[in-house]
Chains A and B, each alone.
Chain A
């Protein structure tokens, strides 16, 4: 008797699991680029459209009088990386949403009629979270620089804009393919830098160094440092920007001024092993919790690293590499009192008549830091705008907070990527977080801050 019940329980568990898998987990597998099953659907279904949140068409399939299908992208380069392409392989949303674009939830009657007359059915449309005017603003803000800009709502995880340059025209990708591939070694046009580009974080990393310092020193408010423009320890000298002295400053002042000397000093006081553990907690070295392609950020300094490496790492140089998406997620979590929301690009899927088939709701990844810690960082990031390196943003109709960075790269001294990560608030509107990286553009204050300001201005206009 007991045995019978045991078996019934086992099989019940199995069946409940199968239903759960189909409803909740199957998507991860269906959308895998390894799943080649989807492509056979295109024999029965016309690929659906990809739409912006306002209903603008970002990608659609056009059938000419001969019945030849071609994919058209009305905004050309503007959404190149985020929307992607579906010829010559697949990328972007065209890849991750392939399954949905090739399924048809058109009305049964319509499908039967199409079937009987030998016509293809219209696939489902994917409605994204992307905002056309914000994407345009971000695209303009990055100007002629290579790099990336991301805009997201910290409280929901909706990504409103995602720009990566250099870019390509998805309409002519098949014709341009050979040229793009041959140039790819130099400029990686196909790489979505926003999610997959790995950059030294520069001073934006001081957010993490500060958090670790606060955790190790409950009396961090008493911290004080007298900056004379350089800091030397174990034979290595760290320079502040243009070696200009910041003089007496506390932790908030060091953060607002982005004082390298002070942070080199802080770095040496930290427990390198705990710092490494914090980075793991903050998703370094792992796949970010997003349902699109992204690279894993890297952090390697540990207890056995040299003093020089520890100091370099504390100011965001050294061997640390991050994706713009990762920095955006950290800034968003701070703006959202420590809670990280899962970034997502698709709001819902609807059939060809606009009837909703599937909705993607905001979801919480986890509490990345204590709400109190987040609030202190919010205060510090506000100081960066009110009295520090991003003061160009002060005095606007919105309250901006953030951190600038000038990340040195390559062997030549003085060449640097310009960074800004932060967010802004205005009563009555949803907050937005922004990450800007402009390659080789110089200082964060000079290039990245004005770019971010353009986006905030456009959004809060």
Chain B
């Protein structure tokens, strides 16, 4: 009987996720606000439905009371996030906040399935981070000095990365985390945001050749320290973010081409020089031939994705724990195994719709500093999603990065929530830019209570 419920909900969740994903893209079409609002409300209903079904299955199989608490706590979190955005920031993008909750939700579900205690820890960190990040949009609006802290970003960034390189703890050959008072943090997760601010601040002032030269040198220092720490995924993310920002700031395609060429040459050199790079490439090209060794992780991941098939095994029906680091770098494989490849493909599309929103905002912002910030953060997000999913599916060699908002890891979730917070701030900024006549006091107040009332109603219906 339980198995039957597992099976039925599995298909229902895939269907709902597909509808949600469709709405993600349908909202990009030009249409009146009422219809838009309906779509967003539909999305948030679907989110709660999937969440409910997943936890129902988790509870029926595991029979762990902690799951009940976790379920209600998470619902409270989602309600608070969505309503406080509408309460304090009625102009914020509902697509971004919906997607943020959706990605968090999928992460919460699959983490609870793998390890309830770690899922609880992750939930607490995510809840705290989300609360913290609520102030970010208002900071962006009120504080005008962000664009003047240029060298502070660079100094903190380089110093932070250097500390990790020299004193970090090693995991899977790479030095990426620092242990402070028993808590493991990954400074590069935060430094990448500072890095984007640094580059944006530099190019906001000028895009003269000398300015480009200085900025490139500092960017290279960031990237090289990461290479020395053997954090290849991190190095690639910083590198790509810089390249894209450079190209858009200068509008010179030559920089992009030269940068990509230099990157390709550097990859070949790195492959020739470093044995750990060769191992990764070998594990990518013929994982089954080195399954006992460097190919073990990727093979387990492909076993999971392959065995799961398009519709998945159903929650608790697979063996995601067989994959080393499944909760961090390989969370996508666990989702594909148990919830199905179709669900996982929808997840990719949801990430893509976030990315489109990031770039959309970047393109429409007139302020060149924030335009570059949105672009840089978008690129970081896009590259990170691509590297992690491409890596665990053997599309590209694995680089060991997390899937933002879904993977286990406090630094990752906090830094991504900060990114989403900044994006929301910029979205509001753009709305302000485009709507100078906006009546700040009255219009906002009357709007927010109405929204709040609607949302509570929605939730009760479920």
Instruction: Give A residues with C-beta under 8 Å from B.
Output: 1-4, 7-8, 10-11, 13-15, 17-19, 21-22, 25-30, 32, 34-38, 40, 44, 99, 112, 115-116, 118
Q: Is B322 an interface residue when CB atoms closer than 8 A count as contact? A: yes
B291 within 8 A of A: yes
Among B247, B303, B309, B344, find the residue whose CB has the most chain A CB atoms closer than 10 A: B303
- In the complex, the answer to whether B302 meets A115 with C-beta atoms within 8 Å is no
Stretch at the interface among B123-131, B212-220, B230-238, B348-356: B348-356
Besides A17-B395, A34-B303, 7 other A-B contacts (C-beta < 8 A)? A18-B345, A18-B395, A30-B303, A32-B291, A35-B307, A38-B307, A115-B3
| Stretch of B109-117, B276-284, B385-393, B429-437 with 4 or more beta carbons under 8 angstroms from chain A | B385-393
Q: Check A37 against B304 for contact (C-beta < 8 Å).
A: yes
Verify A28–B288 contact, CB threshold 8 A. yes
What total of A-B pairs shows CB separation below 8 Å? 98
A17 touches B393 (CB 8 A): yes
* A29 and B393 in contact, given A4-B359, A99-B307 (Cβ under 8 angstroms): no
Name the contact of A32 in the complex, choosing from B4, B303, B379, B389 (C-beta under 8 A).
B303
A37 touches B310 (CB 8 A): no
Contact between A18 and B248 (Cβ–Cβ < 8 Å)? no
User: A1 to B364, alpha carbons, bound, how many Å?
Assistant: 11
Which residues does chain A contribute within 8 Å of B395, judged by CB atoms?
13-14, 17-18
Q: Chain B 125-150 against A: per-residue CB contact (8 Å), 1 yes, 0 no?
A: 00000000000000000000000000
B residues within 8 A CB of A3?
244, 247-248, 359, 375, 379
CB–CB A30/B379 < 8 A: no
> Is A36's CB under 8 angstroms from B319's CB?
yes
- Min Cβ gap A339→B in Å is 26
* Contact with B1, one of A13, A44, A116 (Cβ below 8 angstroms): A116
Residue of A nearest to B379 (CB): A3
Residues of A contacting B363 in the complex (Cβ-Cβ under 8 angstroms): 1
Bound: A1/B344 CA distance, A: 27
Inter-chain CA distance A40–B308, complex, in Å, is 13
What are 17 of the A-B contact pairs (CB < 8 Å)?
A3-B244, A3-B248, A4-B356, A4-B359, A10-B382, A18-B305, A18-B341, A18-B395, A21-B393, A27-B306, A32-B288, A34-B303, A37-B303, A37-B307, A40-B317, A40-B319, A44-B3
Residues from 5 to 51 in B contacting A, C-beta threshold 8 Å: 7
Contact A116 B4 (CB under 8 A): yes
**A8 CA to B378 CA in the complex, in Å?**
13
B259 part of interface (Cβ distance < 8 Å): no
Residue B201 at the chain A interface, CB threshold 8 Å: no
* Contact of A21 with B394 at beta-carbon distance under 8 Å, contacts A28-B288, A29-B299, A30-B303 already known: yes
Given the contacts A1-B363, A10-B386, A22-B341, A112 and B306 also touching, CB distance less than 8 Å:
no
Nearest-neighbor residue (CB-CB) of B336 within chain A: A18
Residue from the list B288, B310, B348 in contact with A15, Cβ < 8 A: B348
Tell me the dominant secondary structure on chain B's binding face: helix
A14–B247 Cα distance when bound, in Å, is: 24
Contacts of B4 in A (CB 8 A): 112, 115-116
Asked if B307 and A11 sit within 8 Å, CB to CB, the answer is no
Q: Is the contact region of chain A dominated by helix, strand, or loop, or is it mixed?
A: helix
CB distance from B199 to the nearest CB of A (A): 15
- Chain B interface bracket (under 10, 10 to 19, 20 to 34, 35 or more): 35 or more
A-contact 0/1 string along B373-405, CB 8 Å cutoff: 001000100100010011001110000000000
Question: Contact at A29–B288, with CB atoms within 8 Å?
Answer: yes
In the bound assembly, the distance between CA atoms of A17 and B393 in angstroms comes to 9
By beta carbon, the residue of chain B nearest A99 is: B307
B340 to chain A minimum Cβ distance, whole angstroms, is 10
Complex Cα spacing A35 to B341, Å = 18
| Nearest B residue to A31, CB-CB | B306
Closest to B381 in A: A7
CB proximity of A222 to chain B, nearest CB, Å: 46
* B159–chain A nearest beta-carbon distance, Å: 30
**Which of A17, A22, A35, A112 is within 8 Å of B309, CB to CB?**
A22
A26 and B375 CA atoms in complex are apart in Å by: 36
Task: List A contacts of B318 (CB < 8 A).
Answer: 37
Q: Which residues on B sit within 8 Å (CB–CB) of A14?
A: 348, 386, 389-390, 393, 395
Which chain B positions have C-beta within 8 A of A32? 288, 291, 299, 303
Return chain A residues, CB-CB under 8 Å to B344: 18
Name which residue of chain A comes closest to B351, CB basis: A11
Cα of A432 to Cα of B302 in the assembled complex, Å: 38
B313 nearest in chain A by CB position:
A37
5 smallest beta-carbon distances between A and B, as pairs: A26-B306, A35-B303, A29-B306, A29-B302, A30-B306
Give Cα distance in the complex from A29 to B309, angstroms: 12
Name the residue on A nearest B5 (C-beta).
Answer: A115
Give a binary string over B329-341; 1 marks a CB under 8 Å from any A CB, 0 the rest.
0000000000001
Measured between alpha carbons, how far is A11 from B354 in the docked complex, in Å?
Answer: 13
Contact of B382 among A7, A15, A21, A35 (CB under 8 A): A7
Beta-carbon nearest neighbor of B298 in chain A = A29
Q: What is the minimal beta-carbon distance from B107 to any residue of chain A, in angstroms?
A: 19
Chain B residue nearest to A117 (CB atoms) is B1
When distances are taken between beta carbons in the complex, the residues of chain A under 8 Å from B244 are 3
Bound CA–CA A38/B308 (angstroms): 11
Tell me the bound Cα distance from A22 to B307 in angstroms.
9
A40 to B352, CA, bound (A): 35
Is the Cβ of A37 less than 8 Å from the Cβ of B393? no
Query: For A40, what are the chain B residues with a Cβ–Cβ distance below 8 Å?
Result: 317, 319
Known interface pairs A14-B348, A36-B319. Does A7 touch B307 (Cβ–Cβ under 8 Å)? no
Of A3, A11, A22, A112, which is in contact with the most chain B CB atoms at under 10 Å from its CB? A3
Shortest Cβ distance from A16 into chain B, in angstroms? 10
The answer to whether A8 touches B317, judged by C-beta atoms less than 8 angstroms apart, is no
Identify the closest chain B residue to A34 (Cβ): B291
Give chain A nearest CB distance to B383 CB in angstroms: 9
Complexed CA–CA distance, A4 and B247 (Å): 13
Q: Check B310–A22 contact: CB distance below 8 A.
A: yes
Q: Which residues of A contact B355 (CB under 8 A)?
A: 7
Q: Which of B269-327 contact A (CB under 8 A)?
A: 288, 291, 299, 302-307, 309-310, 317-319, 322
